[in-house]
Structure 1
Amino acid sequence: MDDFAVLGIRMTEGYGLSETSPLNSANKRPGVYKRGTIGKTLCNVEAKIVDGEICVKGDNVMKGYYNKPAETAEVIKDGWFYTGDAGSIDKKGYITITGRKRELIVLPNGKKVNPEEIETKIKALHPDMIKEIGVFSKDNGLFAIVLPDFDFLKSNNLVNIFETVRWQVIDKYNRASRDFKKVLNFRIVTDELPRTRIGKLKRFMFPLLAETEVKEVTHEEDPAEEQYSVFKKKLEQLTGAKVYPDSHLELDLGIDSLAKIEMESFIESTYGVSITGQDLSGHSRVKELYELVKNKMVKMTDQVDEGWAKILSTESSQKLKGNGIMVGLFHFFTFVYFRVYLNLKVKGRKNIPKGPVIYAPNHQSFLDGLLMVSSLPGFARRNTYFIANQKHFKKWWRKIIAGSSHILTVNINYNLKESLQKIAFILKKGKSVVIFPEGARTRDGQLMSFKKFFAILSSELGVPVVPVAIDGALQSLPVDTIIPKPGKITVEFLEPVKPDQLSYDEITSKVREDIKQKIQVNISSK
């Protein structure tokens, strides 16, 4: 309407139904206009809200459905017509429609949720990234079906679709929403959401779209080429899934950032072709990536792919930046604050072995990095580097802090391979590193899944992992708060997990389980 007004065209927005012809209310008329509403009722029309539903009464309301007394009784009660539209009326009489009442989701706790309202809010957070979204009830909570704009992801070289949507969109929405309106889980789809002929979402089909089992479809035939057979075999080895030319690398095969790095190494050693993360984001289906490799390949070799051993053996050109002075200053200025105000208790220092170590703490709050600085003994603190998410160090003063102290920033969407090589370089120099395997702070106190890149480093370099259980930090500094509250925080160094004869997954599971058990013991003892 505002766009038409710019052109000098006045328009009036009206609200009515066949049963209440022609209108119940109108907006953009003399003395009546409020953006986002459908205006006020017309003369001789009344409106009220009953249990969240808009009801109207007036000369424009029908007498009933012809020869259908039962259906009439359902919608006309005491002279009021129940429209089926969910909405509200403000103090000045402006009416707002929020959706259809029959589409409201009633949760097990009795709370009613309007899916359209949530979908609109989520899309508004990142309209360029989210093409379509549908929300419904699943497993006693809200679940979303998300269709991203793959052209946007491709043009921005975003290669971790699920993680990007999770943290840049869903988590951002959840942090601003009440508990019962939070989206607990979601699934990425590649096809448009089902709609009726007039464009309304077929919400009854959402549960089928959320199922993990994919219906039988006709796939393209494999190219009859030896190079493709080798290419396909490697993908099946990495993913444990059936691979087809039209399979999406991430959404169908589940290839994550680490698997993509392995694939890059394999392609380089087998086909002599060097590809980048940008190549992978721009060629997201098996056939597209294979055609890229095929066109660049000169000759396929029989060289054995050494995987992570070769990737991490590449010498990094970087020099160890920063010094222990800045870390020491952090410790000096926070020591009393943490011990007195936050009642920090440190346990298990005897479990810290000499030599390079990978510290793997759970992540509860923004305090965790400083808690580690304050908890490590002096000899370990001076030789420890902290791995941090690059997004937290974009401001100039934070970059200065990172550059002058033992902080190495990484970005999972860009140059993760080089970041892992830098971490390996640090460990080879006899230094230790702090890596938060969850990759993000918990939102509810529960441990999230652990990413296994710390286990890969441990296994390939023969470096022990020290699990670190942080408890109480979330209560002291909840998400979206700035000032910590007085509390009781415990940091405990657990027995080292040695990589001997353990697989990447076994190391990851062992570290996570040790931390989980320790936190549960702490909770039960409170």
Structure 2
Amino acid sequence: MDRSRTPSGALLVVFNALYWPYLVVTCVLFFVPAFFIFLVTFWQKPRRALHAYTSLWASHYLAWAPYAGIRVEGRERAPKGRACVYVANHQSLVDILAVYGLRLPFLWVSKIENFRVPFLGWNMYLNGYVPLRRGHLPSIRRMLRVCERALRSGSSLCVFPEGTRSKDGALKPFYRGAFWLAVRAGVPIVPIVVSGTGEILPKGQLGIRPRPVTVRVLDPISPDEAAGDDRRLRELVFERMQRELAVLRGQSLVAEPALATIPLEARVPNVGDGSAE
């Protein structure tokens, strides 16, 4: 099948009529092996076997879909044998599937509501991913403690530092938390840029328009490059991701503010999350 084409008209209607029921049914079916893997590996932290299975489960909805596919670039840039914080741009629910396509070990940081979704959310709990209740200081502080412990014990994290999906695909200002954690734990930030997902399932829509996507891992950025300043680290990562996204999309670079300012930030870092809003 020619994956460079995008279906339209009646073919697109048929695709959606088949895709959504397939997703629902397989979420139920694929949860059964996930639960079995959890039972035989529940004492392990991180639960790498379960996360590897979850990566296959989630990414196949995009990688194997007609007219779609995931092109992975730069996976070899991911640090080997040490923890890091992966940060990715966010424009669609499909971003999660695309990032899973990297098949890299990490823990998602995600809003608590996602953990309540039947089967998918239950699997997030089984994986030991980190929940976050937005706007709730005790939850944010707990999340930061859990994330810092995970990084210091060798587990990587993955977050969307914009905190929500971008409607126009432009990179939104970053929240502080992921960069604060990287500085505290002394681990690098690894930027990930995702291109094409916004056209598949834009924010606020349910109709899917399948097409190939590209997921590119960029070179790690050490906190030392920012002299241990999480604000400067945020700016460096934002600038690099913004530049790389423009290259991927064949667009001219338009400067946007790198830093998000929120009332909570004066008291406690906010990490963004690894979910879609």
Q: TM-score range by the shorter chain?
A: 0.5 to 0.7
Q: Does 1:475 align with 2:202?
A: no
Structure 1 SS opposite 2:162? coil
> How far has the Cα of 1:423 moved from its partner?
0.4
1-structure distance, mates of 2:119, 2:58: 19
2-structure distance, mates of 1:396, 1:390: 13
2-structure distance, mates of 1:460, 1:333: 33
1:372 to 99, 124, 127: 99
1:523 to 234, 246, 249: 249
1-structure distance, mates of 2:49, 2:95: 20
Give identity over the alignment, percent.
Answer: 23
Q: What is the aligned partner in structure 2 of residue 290 from structure 1? A: none
Q: Contact between 1:322 and 1:404, CA under 8 Å: does it hold in 2?
A: no
> How far has the Cα of 1:322 moved from its partner?
7.1
- Residue 389 of structure 1 aligns with an amino acid whose one-letter code is K
Q: Contact between 2:191 and 2:217, CA under 8 Å: does it hold in 1?
A: yes
Q: What is the aligned partner in structure 1 of residue 76 from structure 2? A: 350
Aligned runs of 1:261-276 on 2, under 5 Å? Answer: none
C-alpha distance 322-484 of structure 1, shift in aligned 2 (>3 A): farther
C-alpha distance 365-320 of structure 1, shift in aligned 2 (>3 A): farther
C-alpha distance 398-336 of structure 1, shift in aligned 2 (>3 A): closer
Q: Does 1:496 align with 2:223?
A: no
2-structure distance, mates of 1:467, 1:337: 23
Cα displacement string for residues 283-338 of structure 1 (whole angstroms, at most 9, x for unaligned residues): xxxxxxxxxxxxxxxxxxxxxxxxxxxxxxxxxxxx97672343223333345543
2-structure distance, mates of 1:344, 1:399: 24
> How far has the Cα of 1:418 moved from its partner?
1.1
> How far has the Cα of 1:389 moved from its partner?
1.4
C-alpha distance 443-498 of structure 1, shift in aligned 2 (>3 A): same
1:331 to 39, 55, 65: 55
2-structure distance, mates of 1:436, 1:420: 15
> How far has the Cα of 1:447 moved from its partner?
0.9
C-alpha distance 502-366 of structure 1, shift in aligned 2 (>3 A): same
1-structure distance, mates of 2:109, 2:59: 21
2-structure distance, mates of 1:369, 1:404: 17
Cα displacement string for residues 151-178 of structure 1 (whole angstroms, at most 9, x for unaligned residues): xxxxxxxxxxxxxxxxxxxxxxxxxxxx
Cα displacement string for residues 395-418 of structure 1 (whole angstroms, at most 9, x for unaligned residues): 454442221124211123222111
- Residue 52 of structure 2 aligns with an amino acid whose one-letter code is G
Q: What is the aligned partner in structure 2 of residue 235 from structure 1? A: none
Q: What is the aligned partner in structure 2 of residue 405 from structure 1? A: 127
1:388 to 103, 106, 110: 110
Structure 2 SS opposite 1:441? coil
Q: What is the aligned partner in structure 1 of residue 19 from structure 2? A: none
Q: Contact between 1:427 and 1:433, CA under 8 Å: does it hold in 2?
A: yes
Structure 1 SS opposite 2:101? helix
Q: Contact between 1:364 and 1:473, CA under 8 Å: does it hold in 2?
A: yes
Structure 2 SS opposite 1:329? helix
1-structure distance, mates of 2:244, 2:172: 15
C-alpha distance 514-320 of structure 1, shift in aligned 2 (>3 A): farther
Q: Contact between 1:324 and 1:406, CA under 8 Å: does it hold in 2?
A: no
Cα displacement string for residues 119-153 of structure 1 (whole angstroms, at most 9, x for unaligned residues): xxxxxxxxxxxxxxxxxxxxxxxxxxxxxxxxxxx
State TM-score, norm by structure 2: 0.67
Q: Which runs of 5+ in 2 are unaligned?
A: 1-42, 252-277
Cα displacement string for residues 89-144 of structure 1 (whole angstroms, at most 9, x for unaligned residues): xxxxxxxxxxxxxxxxxxxxxxxxxxxxxxxxxxxxxxxxxxxxxxxxxxxxxxxx
C-alpha distance 320-408 of structure 1, shift in aligned 2 (>3 A): farther
Q: Does 1:509 align with 2:251?
A: no
Q: Contact between 1:320 and 1:426, CA under 8 Å: does it hold in 2?
A: no
- Residue 407 of structure 1 aligns with an amino acid whose one-letter code is Y
Q: What is the aligned partner in structure 2 of residue 362 from structure 1? A: 89
- Residue 372 of structure 1 aligns with an amino acid whose one-letter code is V
Aligned runs of 1:220-299 on 2, under 5 Å? Answer: none
Give 1 or 2: higher strand fraction.
1
2:142 to 404, 407, 418: 418
The root-mean-square deviation of aligned C-alpha atoms, in Å, is 2.3
2-structure distance, mates of 1:347, 1:397: 30
Structure 2 SS opposite 1:412? coil
State TM-score, norm by structure 1: 0.36
> How far has the Cα of 1:504 moved from its partner?
1.1
Structure 2 SS opposite 1:449? coil
- Higher RCO by CA contacts (8 Å cutoff, separation 6 or greater): 2
Q: Does 1:438 align with 2:150?
A: no
C-alpha distance 337-393 of structure 1, shift in aligned 2 (>3 A): closer
2-structure distance, mates of 1:463, 1:524: 32
Aligned runs of 1:295-310 on 2, under 5 Å? Answer: none
- Residue 365 of structure 1 aligns with an amino acid whose one-letter code is S
Q: Contact between 1:471 and 1:519, CA under 8 Å: does it hold in 2?
A: yes
